[in-house]
C-alpha cells in the first residue's frame, strides 16, 4: 500500500499538516489533494459530471507560490461548489505553476470541516533525503 502523503500535526485551533512527496510537482499535488482529503469524504454519486479547471499562477518565491496555490484551490472549490479529487501539475519552475484541478460536485461529498485558508505561519518547504516535504497550517 502506498504511504499516506500527509499527516496531521498538533495545533490548538487550526489544522497543521506535513506533506511528503518524491519531487516538487508531487508536493504541490499532494498538498492540494490533502485539503480535500482532510475536509471531506465521498458519499454519493448523484452528479457524475467532472469539471477540469485550469490554474496558472506566478509568484515571487516558492513559499508564495505554494500558499497561493492552496488558496486558489480553496477559493475555486467554494465558488464552483467542487471537491477536487485529482490534480495534474503540468508545469512548475521559476515560481510559475500551470495545473489542472479536476473536481466533482460537492453535493456528492460529506464535508466535515470548512478550511478557510492556507497560511504562512510556520510554513516550511524543504528538500529531504526522500524527496520534498512541507509543513503548513490551515485556518479552520
Q: According to the binding rule CB under 8 A, does residue 46 interact with other proteins?
A: no
Binding mask 83-102 for other proteins (x = CB under 8 A): --------------------
- Altogether, the residues listed in the chain come to a count of 140
Among 53, 100, 102, 106, the residue binding other proteins under the rule CB under 8 A is: 106
CB-nearer residue toward other proteins: 23 or 114:
114
Among 54, 75, 90, 96, the residue binding other proteins under the rule CB under 8 A is: 75
* C-alpha distance from residue 136 to each of 8, 56, 97 (Å): 10, 21, 19
Among 44, 116, 127, 130, the residue binding other proteins under the rule CB under 8 A is: 116
* Spatial distance between the Cα atoms of 34 and 84, rounded to a whole number of angstroms: 10
CB-nearer residue toward other proteins: 23 or 71:
71
Residue 46 CA to its chain's centroid (Å): 24
- Binding to other proteins, residues 1-40 (CB under 8 A): 8-16, 39
Backbone φ and ψ for 132, nearest 5 degrees, come out as -130, 150
Amino acid at each position: 500500500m502506498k504511504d499516506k502523503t500527509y499527516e496531521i500535526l498538533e495545533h490548538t485551533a487550526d489544522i497543521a499538516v506535513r506533506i511528503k512527496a518524491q519531487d516538487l510537482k508531487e508536493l504541490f499535488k499532494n498538498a492540494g489533494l490533502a485539503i480535500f482529503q482532510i475536509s471531506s469524504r465521498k458519499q454519493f454519486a448523484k452528479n457524475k459530471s467532472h469539471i477540469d479547471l485550469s490554474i496558472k499562477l506566478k509568484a515571487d518565491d516558492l513559499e508564495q507560490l505554494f500558499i497561493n496555490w492552496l488558496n486558489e484551490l480553496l477559493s475555486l472549490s467554494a465558488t464552483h461548489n467542487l471537491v477536487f479529487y485529482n490534480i495534474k501539475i503540468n508545469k512548475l519552475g521559476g515560481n510559475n505553476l500551470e495545473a489542472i484541478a479536476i473536481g466533482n460536485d460537492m453535493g456528492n461529498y460529506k464535508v466535515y470541516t470548512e478550511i478557510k485558508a492556507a497560511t504562512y505561519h510556520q510554513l516550511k518547504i524543504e528538500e529531504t533525503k526522500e524527496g520534498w516535504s512541507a509543513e503548513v497550517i490551515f485556518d479552520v
